Amino acid sequence: MKNKKIVIAGGTGFIGQALTEYFGRTNSIVILSRLSGDTHTNLYHQKLLTVDDGYLVRYVKWDGKTVEENWSEEIAGADIVINLAGKSVNCRYHKKQKQEIFDSRVNATNALGEAIRKTSHPPALWVNAASATIYQNSLTAPNDEFTGVISDRKEDNMPYNIIDNLRYRKNRLLAALFQGKESEVYKNLETDFSVQVCKLWEKVFFEQETHGTRKVALRTAITLGKAGVITPYLNLCKFGLCGKQGSGKQMFSWVHVEDVARMIQWLYENEKAIGVYNCVAPNAVSNYSLLKSLRQLTGNKIGLPAGSWMLEAGAFLIGTETELLLKSRWVIPTRATREGFVFNYPLLRNALEQIIADLPRRNYSLS
Ligand SMILES: NC(=O)c1ccc[n+]([C@@H]2O[C@H](COP(=O)([O-])OP(=O)(O)OC[C@H]3O[C@@H](n4cnc5c(N)ncnc54)[C@H](OP(=O)(O)O)[C@@H]3O)[C@@H](O)[C@H]2O)c1
């Protein structure tokens, strides 16, 4: 793809920078960011790509919620708008954090919708990030766009490690006793937060009326590249902790970030593409296989397993949730493959090989 204008909201993060690297030498990229002009790195301490690195990229300030002329005029004449903006879900799900996770996604999506409606030269395509976590916890069958099960009942999404389960049952009992089953607290305990976020995000997106602009929600799996989740996994390997997590049977759906970029290009070129697409490699693996591959590729023979209680304690200490590791995400990209998209990285092993080979050696240890 050449000479296109691509606006990426939230493009300073892991996926946004990878998209800039992929498209930014031959297309003009405008990144909408809340950062001030003197910020040079993102939350992964990656240096932000600039014109000096050979990329046609500009950073334009927005607040992620208000339509202002300085950034909304960038939408005019854009070929693709990609929305990646949202507070990271890699945190403890306390009330304040949860609200920020909801609000950041809803506000950014609303603001982009309004800006697209206002412009006289709307983009051909608007791709909104979405998440493959929308599908239920599944150990028995994969979910796709046609038959996948989307349920926000807590019980359909919990990974059911003993600690999570006990905590959930205790809180539910207390809420039923002291607040009643009709209370907000009780209902919140019954529903799964992550699925609610995914559902609301897509609802707000598809509610935007943007005549002349095709809309695609990209239900993206855990994305692998030189930043993002690969860093903590390689750190675990370094310390010999790269054994199975929990039962190890939970499925790990993933996608190479290069295939995310390629799928966006394919969606742009495929003028019939509209609606929901799963952006996940066709071959999910179990958590056990993921960690085995990582051990083999980093040359770490020892990989101590981490039981659910250890993960629970570790997640508390590093300020995240075990759901990110323990939910069984089994998703396949039926729509894209049926319509002709071919993944460069259909197999995890090849994806990891490429990513690890590309990383500086200090990021992992070789025995
Ligand atoms: N990485 C994955 O495996 C994965 C999988 C499925 C879905 N997704 C979704 O895809 C999107 C991009 O993923 P990513 O890994 O690139 O995320 P990321 O590294 O966390 O980047 C997201 C960007 O969103 C912006 N942002 C953060 N908080 C915000 C707020 N309160 N209001 C407005 N903007 C805010 C930030 O840009 P500024 O600070 O510059 O404004 C940040 O760079 C996210 O929404 C994520 O949920 C990611």
pLDDT at 1: 95
Atom of ligand 1 nearest to the CA of 31: 40
pLDDT greater than 70 at residue 366: no
Give DSSP secondary structure letters for 203-251: HHHHH---TT-EEEEEEE-EEESSSBTHHHHHHHHHTT--S-BTTS-SE
Atom of ligand 1 nearest to the CA of 224: 3
Residue nearest atom 21 of ligand 1, based on CA coordinates: 13
| Residue 11 near residue 19, CB atoms below 8 Å | yes
Of 30, 59, 88, the one to substitute when testing ligand 1's pocket (max ligand atoms within 8 A of C-beta) is 88
| Residue 265 near residue 26, CB atoms below 8 Å | no
Among candidate residues 161, 164, 185, 162, the one with its CA nearest the CA of residue 173:
185
Atom of ligand 1 nearest to the CA of 35: 40
| Residue 282 near residue 338, CB atoms below 8 Å | no
| Residue 204 near residue 110, CB atoms below 8 Å | yes
Q: CA-CA distance, 3 to 37, in Å (whole number)?
A: 25
Q: Report CA(10)–ligand 1 centroid distance (Å).
A: 6
Q: CA-CA distance, 219 to 144, in Å (whole number)?
A: 10
Q: Report CA(129)–ligand 1 centroid distance (Å).
A: 9
Lining ligand 1 with CB less than 6 A are 10, 12-16, 33-35, 42, 64, 84-89, 100, 104, 108, 129, 131, 220, 222-223, 228
pLDDT at 160: 65
Name the strand (E) or helix (H) holding 323: helix 323-326
Q: What is the DSSP secondary structure assignment for residue 307, as one 8-state letter?
A: -
| Residue 141 near residue 330, CB atoms below 8 Å | yes
Name the strand (E) or helix (H) holding 123: none
pLDDT greater than 90 at residue 168: no
Among candidate residues 42, 109, 37, the one with its CA nearest the CA of residue 70:
37
Please give the backbone phi and psi of residue 65, each rounded to the nearest 5 degrees, phi first.
-150, -25
State mean pLDDT over 290-312.
Answer: 88
Residue nearest atom 7 of ligand 1, based on CA coordinates: 131
Atom of ligand 1 nearest to the CA of 103: 31
Among candidate residues 143, 344, 117, the one with its CA nearest the CA of residue 209:
117
- The mean pLDDT of the chain is 93
Q: Report CA(290)–ligand 1 centroid distance (Å).
A: 24
Cα–chain center distance at 251: 16
pLDDT at 283: 98
Residue nearest atom 36 of ligand 1, based on CA coordinates: 10
The residues facing 224 across adjacent strands are: 228, 256
Q: Report CA(174)–ligand 1 centroid distance (Å).
A: 35
What is the residue whose two structure tokens read 């600039």? 50
Q: Report CA(230)–ligand 1 centroid distance (Å).
A: 16
Q: CA-CA distance, 208 to 352, in Å (whole number)?
A: 37
Residue nearest atom 28 of ligand 1, based on CA coordinates: 87
Q: Report CA(179)–ligand 1 centroid distance (Å).
A: 35
Local confidence band at 367 (pLDDT 50, 70, 90 cut-offs): very low
pLDDT greater than 70 at residue 363: no
Q: 25-72, pLDDT tens digit by residue?
A: 999 999 999 987 677 888 888 899 999 999 999 999 999 999 999 999
Q: CA-CA distance, 273 to 122, in Å (whole number)?
A: 17
Residue nearest atom 33 of ligand 1, based on CA coordinates: 64
